[in-house]
Structure 1
Amino acid sequence: MLKKTPTGTWMPAWVPETTVPLACLLLVCSMVQSSTGGYDGSMLNGLNILPSYLDYFHLNAATTGLNTASVFIGGVLGPMPAGILSDRLGRRPTIFWGSLVTIIGVIIQTAAQNIAMFVVGRIILGFGSAITGVAGPVYLSETFPSRWRAWGVGILNDFYYVGALIAAGITLGTGQWQSTWAWRAPSLFQGIFSLLCIIILPFIPESPRWLVHQGYYDEARIVVAQTNSDGKLSDPVALTVYKEIVDTLKWEKDQGHTMSPMEMIRTPTARKRFLIGMSPGPFSCIAGNIIASYYLGDELDTAGVTNTTAQLQANVVLNVWCLFCCLAGTHLAAQWGRKSTALLSEFLLAVCLFIIGGLSKLYAENPAGASSSLVYGNVAVMFLFQGFYSIAWTPLLYIYPPEVMNYSIRANGLAFSSFALNGLALVFVFIMPIGLANIGWKMYMVNASWDVVIFGLIAYFWVETKGKTLEEIDAIFDRNKHSDVPDVEMVRSGKGRVDVQALEKELGASQGVSQG
């Protein structure tokens, strides 16, 4: 059964009365958002192999880079407005507007008559995707209960590979068409995910943290109960979660915290949280995966696999492999921890890149005499690399930043992380085909060196956030918890107890409103 739930915004909501169906809807919302980005990367991988696309636009190395990288121009422009809009309009309305802009970009890209129109469409598409890419993770991290947050938010980027797999299959199928629809059809299908997201939004509630911050206490308490205890307002777990949120946001306001972007650098603690929280964006971008994410054809060329059909088939297999790895990585992040998973991944990435560079060098020195074992050994390590990347960076890119940053800087902090990610991606996606054409195997060695540096930074600076609510993570940075209730998992497991009636009275007295 669906229950009309106040949202504090212009967007109404009819939410399932029980927690599990609601969690499933939140998961679906997460899945369809991330699929757009994965679809885009895999689609361009396919298009950059298709003669019908290359010949239509008369592409060279520079214009190929421009067509591919232009989505990141919008990706650079979108995040900062997204952070501000998420705080002012609400999380759900911001996701709605971002999805709508994405659909407009897809339509222009599909109808492109020349490079300029294609680039404009991709800029608009990137702008809309960047907005949902900020509002979505913030919304899901604030709405999912802590016990499911790693999976709920991790899936947000894990389904990048579902979108990528769909795009790989579509481009493989349309690649034989003898018309411009060989590339227009895959482009048009990209809008389906944003449309599905818009359809789902009326059936999920607004973020309880946003509602509390706006003063909608009754509405927030209803959402906490819906997401934690099948709508039972006085359930001890739901009441503990709600009390943590109210106390922590009250503390932030009492300390003079504002929603201004300048809040990210106002205090030493804020700067520390901001720098650690935004680091997954740049770290994931310079890890080395951009080569295979957007220029798999060029990468396979350096390894000796030059047949177009073989490259398209490799694109499909690669995305299946990466989907499996990122789901395994999400499990590791949930059970083993965020920091440990990141360290494991970075170590394996550096090893793989050094091996790929060495094998590519051997092939480049004697392409005609290269053995099949050298060629396929290199391809195998390339696949391993993408899998190891997916283990950590695919889920952690959106799990970790919202956890580390407190409410006052969460949306703007994630926006800056996304800005840095897209800014670096814009540069790297543009220069990668040029770099591969000019220095070949040395590009892998450069990326491997970066991964060694990233490993050291993670080991020294990152903190572990596994198993804690967003408010309990504050205690890691502020050295004390801002609420007097036990930790939620202790209450859930029966190791901690709360006096429900006393909390009811305390909340009613502090807010001056009925919470029943």
Structure 2
Amino acid sequence: MSSAIDSKHDATHVDHAADPEKIHEQRGHQPGIFTDKDLMTNAFEAENREHEMTLWAAVKDHPMACFWAFVFCFTIVMESFDMFLNGNFVALTAFKERYGVPVAGGSKAIPTKWQSALFQSGQCGAFVGVFLAGPITNRLGYRWTTLLGLVLMNATIFISFFAQSLKVLVIGQAFEGVPWGLFIANSPAYASEVVPLVLRGACTATLQMSWSIGGIIVAAATYGYNKRTDEWAWRGPLALQWVFPLPLMVLIFFAPESPWWLVRRGRTEQALRSIKRLGRRSGNQASAEDTLAMIERTVKIETQTGGEPTLLDLVKGTDLRRTIITCLMYASQNFAGNLIANQATFFFEQAGMSTDFSFKLNLINSCLQLVANVLAWPLSGWFGRRTIFLGGLVVNITLLFILGICASITQSTATNYAQACLGVIISFVFAGTLGPISYSIIAETSSIRLRALSTGVGRAAYYVAEIPMIYLASQMLNPFGWNMAGKCGYVWGGTAVVCFVSAYFGLPELKDRSYRELDILFHRKVSARKFKSTVIDVAENE
């Protein structure tokens, strides 16, 4: 930990020998709410321990928590796989020959409306899925909801695989989108709840890594199949989707449920067992009970704000601010150059690269994104969420406008390669900063009580923004549309500027804050730029 962080934690540390009940009376808290002296002392111990824990110590003490967080996040590889797959279909020669229409030069291309439909249908299905995720998860838990999604995923792949027309393929993608919504709503929430405070950034960042892994598999598969001239050029990659659900179902069946969800349901004994499974086998009983006390305390604080959570609670009181931040973080992923990565192969073709080289470059691009994701893990431990997000935006805004300039001058082989390289660098920056840190911010911003609902609605905001942006992206790149190639950098650069301004004034610093501290900071309506400097005592509950 840096000295600055240590100083902050020293300021929040209190004498554990102090009487918790007297502390609360002195601070004017309501009598009778937190009168269990042992529970409060244990909660103090657990929270101070998490603040003092280093990144490496947390990994050593909670290896299984890291493992299960990664397993749940890995479900996102299926949404990533299919999203990138659709982006590659429109560049596959056999697919264009089967479903395309003639263009100048004697070749064929997929019409803009069908290109957009292939991208948008899955997102429309996921939009439905994320709204279903919250109520289902509140009732069944993260584990059973994810298992339900995996069963649905296995079934809906059949529609896409056996499709004989673009219409049926689009319908298949829409049905596949529903379980995507369950996965993307639950994964960041589960990962953030099962790991210690210092690991939340790194573990939720593995969501972006899963996206990159899906992209690499698709890039390799489509590169291998792109020279085929029959229907297996696209059916082969579609069939690869069946590789993921069954192994994940087996693993997740044996996964521990989130102890936070169990405590909210009043199942404290099961929560204690989950805590023990998520820590080291050699961990002592007292440490697990301290963690349980910390969870119970935070849940009790939030319980005072209302009973059974509903979607309406997301727009009430201070939760409205938290919901807006979550929605803006998700939506902003579509406005900072990310859609160039989702349509990388097609973008490279429009930038002047050959079809075969575009597939090769896409594979390189996907591998570089994975490297960026890995680099994001220590980055999230060294720098604040707000710093990484704003810094990533500044870099990509600059690169996007340079991309637009390269596409505006007299075109040559050099400018074509420059546009392709800039597309790769923009994707790399996104994968190392904006992408992974957004998931950390989303998971940490919502209250524990409303987390399953909040992450679902936030992801819905992502799809609301993405669906029209996909059409816009397709229109900008498609030869039947505006045929802008790299000039799209002007558009995405402009939208990224809007994201920067919104985040500068609205995004608080969440790093090194417990969920209790975040509840208090939002409850007190602390300014986003003062979150980092505000000291919250470990004994405070409101």
CA separation of 1:240 and 1:475: change in aligned 2, threshold 3 A: farther
Structure 2: segments with no counterpart, 5+ residues? 1-59, 101-109, 526-537
Deviations 1:232-260 (A, max 9, x none): 46333x33322121012112223324311
Give 1:358's aligned residue.
405
1:27-426 paired onto structure 2 within 5 Å: 27-58=69-100, 59-230=110-281, 232=283, 234-236=285-287, 238-267=288-317, 269-294=318-343, 296-305=344-353, 307-362=354-409, 366-367=410-411, 370=412, 372-426=413-467
Q: Which SS does the other structure have where 1:285 is aligned? A: coil
CA distance in 2, matches of 1:397, 1:194: 26
* Percentage of identical aligned residues: 22
Amino acid of the structure 1 residue aligned with 2:464: G
CA separation of 1:161 and 1:183: change in aligned 2, threshold 3 A: same
Give 1:511's aligned residue.
none
How many correspondences in the alignment?
455
CA distance in 2, matches of 1:43, 1:302: 18
CA separation of 1:150 and 1:86: change in aligned 2, threshold 3 A: same
Residue 439 of structure 1 deviates from its aligned partner by 6.0
Task: Pick one of 465, 469, 482 that aligns with 1:438.
Answer: 482
User: Any conservation in 2 of the 1:222–1:233 contact (CA below 8 Å)?
Assistant: no
User: Any conservation in 2 of the 1:35–1:163 contact (CA below 8 Å)?
Assistant: yes
User: Any conservation in 2 of the 1:48–1:64 contact (CA below 8 Å)?
Assistant: yes
Identify which range, 349-358 or 218-227, moves more after superposition.
218-227
Give 2:517's aligned residue.
472
Amino acid of the structure 1 residue aligned with 2:322: R
CA distance in 2, matches of 1:20, 1:461: 33
Residue 229 of structure 1 deviates from its aligned partner by 4.7
CA separation of 1:392 and 1:78: change in aligned 2, threshold 3 A: same
CA separation of 1:19 and 1:198: change in aligned 2, threshold 3 A: farther
Amino acid of the structure 2 residue aligned with 1:189: L
Deviations 1:394-442 (A, max 9, x none): 2123221121111222111111111111122221212322233316154
CA distance in 2, matches of 1:136, 1:301: 34
CA distance in 1, matches of 2:68, 2:128: 27
CA separation of 1:72 and 1:340: change in aligned 2, threshold 3 A: same
Residue 333 of structure 1 deviates from its aligned partner by 1.7
CA separation of 1:165 and 1:186: change in aligned 2, threshold 3 A: same
Task: Pick one of 459, 468, 471 that aligns with 2:504.
Answer: 459
Q: Which SS does the other structure have where 2:256 is aligned? A: coil
Give 1:449's aligned residue.
494
Deviations 1:163-218 (A, max 9, x none): 11011101111112232111101011123223222121122100101100111011
Give 1:513's aligned residue.
none
Deviations 1:50-91 (A, max 9, x none): 121122223322112212221111121111111111111111
Q: Which SS does the other structure have where 2:337 is aligned? A: coil
CA distance in 1, matches of 2:516, 2:240: 40
